[in-house]
Chains A and B, each alone.
Chain A
Amino acid sequence: MSVIATEAIEEGRPEDGRPSSAMPKTRKRLSWAWLGTVPFFAFIMVFLIWPTIVIGMQAFKNKDGSTGTKNVGKAMSGEYLRAFKTTANLSIITAVVGGLIGILLAYAISTLERPRFLKKAVTTFSGVASQLGGVPLAFAFIATLGSQGLVTLWLKDHLSFDLLEHGFSIYTFRGLIVVYLYFQIPLMVIVMLPAIEGLKATWREAAENLGASKLRYWIHVGIPILSPAALSGVVLLFANAFSAYATAYALTAGQVNLVSIQIGFFLQGNVLDDPALGYSLAFWMIVFMALSILIYQLLQRRTSRWLR
């Protein structure tokens, strides 16, 4: 809140800092103006910032109630460290694979001219599918790749290929990768499409006129311009997978050791450990999310430089 107040007061001052006759009037009006945003910021304080502060306070509380870093340390060791590693693996794999496929798909739909409806169809679908996580998606994939799933049975009957024998089950880590790609790829398409469409035809023509081959154009122009967008997209996908809970829980019933699922166990009271440890896990998750979103924002700033 102090940020707002300071800004409003600063605004009331003339820019050169000298007192002027108009000043009292200006200050009065502006100090009323920022009051209009108080309901919004107050709401955010109560329902977003306050719960976050509580997580921070609880995370740095020891079992006996004293302040300390014991739980924060414990949340990064043993089974919980493994949970962070599994979550990071899942997030990195789905971000990189989903990112690459997403880039290719975005490039394909912006290059292919027919069918005409293709681009519109894919972008609209991507907008929807990137939000379509959660329970229904998990069940759709159980119907597809579960033990009685359509594709599982089809592979068995027609190609005599048994997914389970080959080490794939939809209810495991590998299964989660496949399901997560369903919302990761569309999200990447949304992130990349503006950047790919921003590659100007004149740049390619200029490179060609100067005698550059297709490969050289991509190495010296295309990829350098697209890479901040691509990187930022991958970071966004990472964050997206890192915090997911519903899809993973509905699919694996908590069998895969993910951070979000561990936090859920603590909230359900299914853990014999110190209940306050759940807050330390949530604390670390927020730290990782904050870092990812920060990196994402910085990269996006670089991206938008070329997109004017």
Chain B
Amino acid sequence: MAAMTTRQRPRFGLAAIVILCGLFFFVPLYAAAKFGFYSDFKHKFTLDPLKELTAGAKGPPFRTSVWLSVRLAASTTVASLVLMVPTMVWLHLKVPKLRPVAELVSILPYVVPAIALVAGASKAFRTAWPFILVNPLGMIPLYVIVALPFTYRSLDAGLSAIDLRTLAEASRSLGAGWLRTIRSVVVPNMVTSILGASFLTMAVVLGEYTISALLLHTTFPVYLVQATGDSPRGGPALSILSILVTWLLLGLISLTQRRRGSSPIASPLVRKG
């Protein structure tokens, strides 16, 4: 509607598309919030469905599942960074010829989606390393794989944006060793992309359902599905909260990365123009 004033011809069609899409995206969120937090009988805001759900009639309690998801998110993030930051710095500085190989590897988790990965992993590790499957924290390596496209993409973008070689050479010629160079020169220059990779990894892990459900670990999303059977209004209530947490995490990325015009959380598969 507002576009009418800017050009000679009104752009009703385009405005209509934006408004219709806006409705399609907004209404489910509104509905979930109203369904979960509004009592039809008392006609007012209520936390009863949420309390009912988190009380959890059957299975492990709510808190255990949230705590597990939080621990998984934190440790997967740390593991991802420990593996990926030195690797990416090394790839950019020392072996740029291997970068295409690493980039190809980084999109492999799309080719082997979570449902296939968990099928393969449950067979591959059953006898050799059963703790990967039995211990809930054993899922960390699998989660690192699932988050790899995001981690790679974010760190690669961060490293490409700085003149790494010059920085490293300057630091080395001033007498710093490699460790010191990475710690006090390289990492401070890629804080944004490290934060971006971390928030994305956390969002991915907190919402991950396929792997944990099929390995029978009650993470938060698994609890959500189980408990909603007993409390149909609690499901949407908790869902809207979890969507808000995801938004908060991903919103933090766009706060740290202010590049105009481009989406802050572009899909790892989308090439930059």
- A residues apposed to B, CB below 8 Å: 3-4, 7-8, 11, 30, 33-34, 36-37, 39-41, 43-44, 46-48, 50-55, 58, 101, 104-105, 107-109, 111-115, 118-120, 122-137, 139-144, 148-151, 181-182, 185-187, 190-191, 193-195, 197-198, 236, 239, 243, 245-246, 249-250, 260, 263-264, 266-268, 278-279, 282, 285-286, 289-290, 293, 296-297, 300, 303-304, 307-308
- What's the minimum C-beta distance from A213 to chain B, rounded to whole angstroms? 15
User: Which residues of chain A have C-beta atoms less than 8 A from B238's C-beta?
Assistant: 136, 139
Closest to B122 in A: A267
A34-B95, A127-B250, A135-B221 known; A260 and B31 CB under 8 Å?
no
A143 contacts B119, C-beta separation under 8 Å: no
A36-B86, A43-B83, A140-B236 known; A190 and B31 CB under 8 Å?
no
A140 contacts B28, C-beta separation under 8 Å: yes
A136 contacts B242, C-beta separation under 8 Å: yes
Instruction: Give the distance in Å from the alpha carbon of A143 to the alpha carbon of B90 in the complex.
Output: 49
B224 contacts A48, C-beta separation under 8 Å: no
Instruction: Give the distance in Å from the alpha carbon of A307 to the alpha carbon of B272 in the complex.
Output: 9
Near A by CB (< 8 A), chain B positions 47-93 give: 83-84, 86-87, 90-91
A139 contacts B228, C-beta separation under 8 Å: yes
A143 contacts B28, C-beta separation under 8 Å: yes
Chain B interface extent, by class: 35 or more
User: Which residues of chain A have C-beta atoms less than 8 A from B191's C-beta?
Assistant: none
B120 contacts A182, C-beta separation under 8 Å: no
Identify A52's interface contact among B11, B112, B204, B214, CB under 8 A.
B112
A130 contacts B267, C-beta separation under 8 Å: yes
Identify A33's interface contact among B25, B94, B117, B271, CB under 8 A.
B94
A182 contacts B214, C-beta separation under 8 Å: no
B221 contacts A134, C-beta separation under 8 Å: yes
A36-B86, A185-B21 known; A11 and B97 CB under 8 Å?
yes
B263 contacts A193, C-beta separation under 8 Å: yes
Closest to B13 in A: A108
Instruction: Give the distance in Å from the alpha carbon of A274 to the alpha carbon of B124 in the complex.
Output: 18
Identify A243's interface contact among B29, B98, B102, B113, CB under 8 A.
B113
B119 contacts A282, C-beta separation under 8 Å: yes
User: Which residues of chain B have C-beta atoms less than 8 A from A114's C-beta?
Assistant: 2-3, 5-6
**For chains A and B in complex, what number of residue pairs have CB atoms within 8 angstroms?**
303
Identify B141's interface contact among A8, A43, A194, A303, CB under 8 A.
A43
A194 contacts B115, C-beta separation under 8 Å: no
A236-B269, A300-B271 known; A128 and B121 CB under 8 Å?
no
User: Which residues of chain A have C-beta atoms less than 8 A from B119's C-beta?
Assistant: 51, 55, 263, 266-267, 278-279, 282
Ordered by A's residue number, 7 sampled pairs between the chains whose C-beta atoms are within 8 Å are A47-B121, A125-B25, A140-B31, A263-B116, A286-B111, A289-B113, A304-B273
B18 contacts A108, C-beta separation under 8 Å: yes
User: Which residues of chain B have C-beta atoms less than 8 A from A141's C-beta?
Assistant: 28
B90 contacts A7, C-beta separation under 8 Å: no
Identify B24's interface contact among A43, A182, A191, A268, CB under 8 A.
A182
Identify A197's interface contact among B107, B144, B273, CB under 8 A.
B273
Instruction: Give the distance in Å from the alpha carbon of A40 to the alpha carbon of B247 in the complex.
Output: 30
| Given A140-B243, A151-B27, A182-B25, 6 further pairs, Cβ under 8 A | A37-B91, A47-B145, A53-B120, A55-B116, A135-B207, A143-B35
User: Which residues of chain B have C-beta atoms less than 8 A from A264's C-beta?
Assistant: 115, 210, 213-214
A108-B18, A289-B112, A289-B113 known; A127 and B265 CB under 8 Å?
yes
A8-B95, A131-B203, A268-B214 known; A190 and B120 CB under 8 Å?
no
Q: B254: CB under 8 A from chain A? A: yes
User: Which residues of chain B have C-beta atoms less than 8 A from A113's C-beta?
Assistant: 3, 6-7
Instruction: Give the distance in Å from the alpha carbon of A7 to the alpha carbon of B232 in the complex.
Output: 57
Instruction: Give the distance in Å from the alpha carbon of A104 to the alpha carbon of B13 in the complex.
Output: 10
- What's the minimum C-beta distance from B192 to chain A, rounded to whole angstroms? 15
B28 contacts A144, C-beta separation under 8 Å: yes
